[in-house]
Structure 1
Amino acid sequence: MELIDYPNYGEKLYVQTLANGLTVYLQPKAGFNKTTAVLGVNYGSVDSAFMLNGEKVVQPAGIAHFLEHKMFDKKDYDVFELFNKTGARSNAFTSFTKTNYLFSTAESLKENLDILLNFVQIPYFTKEKVQREKGIIDQEINMYKNDPDNQGYFETIASLYPNSVLANDIAGDVASVDKISLDDVELAYRTFYRPENMSLFITGKLDPDETLGWIEANQAHKDAPVPVEVKRLMVLPQTSSETIKHVEMDVSRPKVALGLRGNDPVPVGREGLKYEIAISIMFDLFLSENAVEYDKLYHDEIIDDSFSWEFENERGFHFAVISCDTAKPSELIQRLKQIIAEIPNKINDLAAEFQLQKNELFGNYIEMMDSEEAISGQFDGFLGEPVTIYDEVEILKSMTLTDVATIADSFLAHATVQSVMIQNRQQFPIDS
């Protein structure tokens, strides 16, 4: 096994790529009583169009999420039942670019690893089960469609990336899910659920040599998949002129979401992580509770404690969404745009604030180092080089305000803006 040493933190990461292409990452944690394992697939909602062995394939929106659901439903049992019998907690989720399957356990690590690897790598699909799953996912989609915060988020992304795969909810919609066939599910699985397109990260209580031996023995009993040539196709047309999209929902107070689409090139690997951390610090400097701008918005009664922002830096795209409940939606949008426009001119004057934000973020990382769930959540094995929480801390320690200003300038100079208002019909038009 290759050893990646983190001497500043007393941690080691063992790396081994197996004969079938599966890359295994093992990080033992002395003194921990639990173990968390994450089997990741480099496949998400944006990967519905691709070239397979020279032929173009376009699949219905939501198929990656649909496939995640189907992996748990076997011929005569449910996978969650197997994990429950061992005392393990299990879960799975699909994002724009990844699908992760995970468990946490304080015992029976080998048994749980076998369950994890087997249920993901030995599928069971039938027409009847595919059809039955549609009704289950339709209920989930309708539940989220009735969630104003969820709708504000995805409507904003759809406005930032119109007529693209990002304009679709990760789960798709009822119409797209209805189009999914058994053939679609089997083709998606054969194309992306391949060992060379997957990674297994395990941290906590474990012996690296013993654990790797269990994994190798499990993989030795599985047939190697037939080689394929895959090229992902994701076209992201440019946005039109800035708009404010109005969405009618039953809300007690209007909700606002303002999105910024990044159009500047972002490096991959650790340099991409540096970009992501810098943009996060930029937003903290101007929109966290310690920021002067936040304080003004709050005392002007434009925002409340529902105010939040998030930044996504994924394979091939990056964007930010700022959201809040507010009685003054039009004024909030105008004020946010003004704050954003002033960032390049003000950021270099915030040296003291930068150090405070940096220290706070550093403290958050130190706290996460005591949680195997947090450690596994920060890990990414699909960036060309493994990126861990310890790499993030080292990047943060060396980051300067000049770094943040330079990256912020790149992001903001090329970003496009779109906004969404969610209101009752009685609230139209409000404060405008």
Structure 2
Amino acid sequence: MEIIDYPNYNERLFVSKLSNGLTVYMQPKKGFNKTTAVLGVNYGSIDSQFILNGQKVVQPAGIAHFLEHKMFDKKDYDVFELFNKTGARSNAFTSFTKTNYLFSTAESVKENLDILLNFVQIPYFTAAKVEREKGIIDQEINMYQNDPDNQAYFETIASLYPDSVLANDIAGTVQTVGSITLADVELAYKTFYRPENMTLFITGKLDPQETLGWIEANQADKPSPEPISLQRLENFERQDQPTIHHRQMNVARPKVTLGLRGTDPVPTGRAGLKYEIALSVMFDLFLSENSVEYDKLYHDEIIDDSFSWEFENERGFHFAVISCDTSEPTILIDRLKAIIKKIPEALPSRTAEFQLQKNELFGNYVEMMDSEEAISGQFDGFIGEPVTIYDEVEILKSLTLADVQAISSDFLKQVVMQAGIIQDH
């Protein structure tokens, strides 16, 4: 078992790659009473097209999310009931690039690990259950389609990445979900739900040697799948001219989104994390509540406390989405574009603000270190090297304003922007 030390925080990460390819990461936390485990699959909504054993496969949009739902649907038991009987809380979610299954518990860790591994690694699919699931997911999709914030976000992404898998909602559409067959589900599972394409991260109250023994015993009962040749197809080449997309929905005030698509190559591993943190600091310096730009927009009554931004840096793509409810949608878009345009020349003068922003972010990280849910949420084992919350803090501590300026300059000089407005009928 490999041990990665974080001496500045008196923490250690225990790493073991099992014979079947599953990589297990364990981070014991002294004084914690709960244990959280996340079984991650390197498979998300953008993986609907791939080359398997030399043959191109195109699957319906939303199939990764559909498969996540199907994993809980068993022949003669309910997965949530099994977790509930042990006092554990369980959940799952699908993103653009990952599917995660997790539980948190204060007792019966071994039993819950067995439940987690077994229900994900022992599927039960039938044509009847696939058809029944479609109606359930249709209701979820219709709920999303009636949510203006959800629609504003995903329509902005679609305008940034037209004619690509990113233009599809993670859940797909009623039409694409309706076309999913039992064969589609079985093929997706066999292709991506493989031990070598999965990681298990556990943190909180645990003994690494004992816990690893439980996991090895569980995996010994499971057959290893046949080797495959897999090539993911991620085509995000096309870029359109900037436009403003309009949509009518039942909203009290117009909603504005401004998407910024990065086109420069992004490094992987910790270097990629530095890129992500630097751009997050950049956005905070100009768009957080502490910035003079935010203050000016707020006092001009262009924005309110609904104003927010988020940044995604995932496998093969990265983008930011700024959003706000406003009575002045076109003015807000113009003001935001003007702020973004001046960032490269304004950054060098933000020395004091930069240090304050670093201190605030550091405080947020320290707070997260006391939560096993936050620790597991920050962990990533699919980017070439394991990245923990402690790696993020070390990168933040060493980050300079010159780093932020260099990375921001590369991002902004090639950025593609698309805006959207949702207004009442």
Please indicate the TM-score interval, normalised by the length of the shorter structure: over 0.9
Give 5+ residue unaligned stretches, structure 1. 426-432
Cα contact 1:162–1:237 (8 A) shared by 2: no
Query: What residue in structure 1 maps to residue 333 of structure 2?
Result: 333
| Cross-structure match for 1:430 | none
Q: State the identity %.
A: 78
Give me the whole-angstrom Cα distance separating, in 2, the residues matched to 1:177 and 1:130: 10
Check conservation: 1:380, 1:386, Cα contact below 8 A.
yes
Q: Secondary structure at the match of 1:346?
A: helix
Partners of 1:24 and 1:199 within 8 A in 2 = yes
> CA deviation digits over 1:86-142, x for unaligned, max 9?
000000000000000000000000000000000000000000000000000000000
CA distance in 2, matches of 1:71, 1:25: 23
Which digits, 9 at most, give the CA deviation of each residue in 1:321-349, with x for residues without a partner?
A: 00000000000000000000000010010
Which residue of structure 1 aligns with residue 161 of structure 2? 161
Aligned to 1:417: 417
Q: How many Å apart are 1:83 and its aligned residue?
A: 0.3
Amino acid in structure 2 at the alignment position of 1:36: T
How many Å apart are 1:287 and its aligned residue?
Answer: 0.3
Helix, strand or coil at the partner of 1:311:
strand
Letter in 1 for 2:314: E
Q: Measure how far apart 1:42 and its partner are.
A: 0.2
Q: 1:115: which partner in 2? A: 115
- Counterpart for residue 71 of structure 1: 71
Gap runs ≥5 in structure 2: none
Question: For residues 64 and 176 of structure 1, what CA distance do their matches in structure 2 show?
Answer: 12
Deviation at 1:77, TM superposition (A): 1.7
Are 1:99 and 2:96 matched, yes or no?
A: no
- Aligned pairs for 1:191-230 within 5 A: 191-230=191-230
Query: In structure 2, the residue corresponding to 1:354 is in which secondary structure?
Result: helix
* Structure-2 residue corresponding to 1:374: 374
Partner amino acid for 2:390? Y
Q: State the match for 1:400 in structure 2.
A: 400
Matches within 5 A, 1:19-38: 19-38=19-38
Q: Which residue of 2 aligns with 1:82?
A: 82
What is the match of residue 352 of structure 1?
A: 352
Root mean square deviation, CA, Å: 0.4
Under a length normalisation based on structure 1, what TM-score does the superposition of the two structures give? 0.98
Q: How does 1:138-149 map to 2 (within 5 A)?
A: 138-149=138-149
Q: In 2, distance between residues paired with 1:16 and 1:314?
A: 25
In the alignment, is the contact (CA less than 8 A) between 1:163 and 1:237 conserved in 2?
no
Q: Counterparts of 2:413 and 2:57 in 1: how far apart (Å)?
A: 36
CA distance in 2, matches of 1:255, 1:154: 13
1:287-298 map, 5 Å: 287-298=287-298
State the partner residue of 2:42: 42
**1:238 Cα deviation after fit:** 2.0
Residue by residue, what CA displacement relative to the aligned partner does 1:214-252 show, whole Å, maximum 9, x if unpaired? Answer: 000000000010111100011113221110000110001
| Distance in 2 between residues matched to 1:96 and 1:64, nearest whole Å | 9
Partner SS, residue 9 of structure 2: coil
1:171 aligns with 2:174: no
- Check the 8 A contact 1:153/1:321 in 2, yes or no: yes
SS class of match (2:206): coil
Q: Distance in 1 between matches of 2:207 and 2:124?
A: 32
Q: Take 1:220 and 1:238, find their aligned partners in 2: how far apart are those partners?
A: 46
Q: CA deviation at 1:68?
A: 0.2
**Post-superposition offset of 1:424:** 1.1
CA distance in 2, matches of 1:247, 1:278: 33
- 1:386 alignment partner in structure 2: 386
Secondary structure of 2:253 counterpart:
coil
**Counterpart check, 1:232 vs 2:236:** no
**Aligned residue identity for 2:99:** T
- Per mean C-alpha deviation after superposition, the further-off stretch among 316-325 and 234-243 is 234-243
The one-letter amino acid of 2:132's match is R
**C-alpha distance in 2, partners of 1:81/1:72?**
10
Rounded to whole Å, the distance in 2 between the matches of 1:226 and 1:132 is 30
Question: Does the residue aligned with 1:202 lie in a helix, a strand or coil?
Answer: strand
Distance in 2, matches of 1:285 and 1:404, equals 10
Give the Cα separation in 1 of the matches to 2:348 and 2:116.
49
Note if 1:318 corresponds to 2:314. Answer: no
Work out whether residues 94 and 170 of structure 1, in 8 Å CA contact, stay in contact via their aligned partners in 2. yes
Per the alignment, residue 301 of structure 2 pairs with 301
SS of corresponding position for 1:222: coil
SS state of the match for residue 8, structure 1?
helix
Residue type matched to 1:401 in 2? Answer: L
The runs of at least 4 aligned residues of structure 1 exceeding 6 Å deviation read: none
> Aligned equivalents of 1:58 and 1:192: distance in 2?
14
Measured in 2, the distance between the counterparts of 1:215 and 1:76 equals 24
Write the deviation string for residues 253-282 of structure 1: whole angstroms up to 9, x where unpaired: 000000000001100000000000000000
The one-letter code sitting in structure 2 at the alignment partner of 1:9 is Y
- Give the superposition deviation at 1:163: 0.5
Between the aligned partners of 2:363 and 2:231, the Cα distance in structure 1 is 41
Q: What do the CA deviations read for 1:267-321 (whole angstroms, capped 9, x no partner)?
A: 0000000000000000000000010000000000000000000000000000000
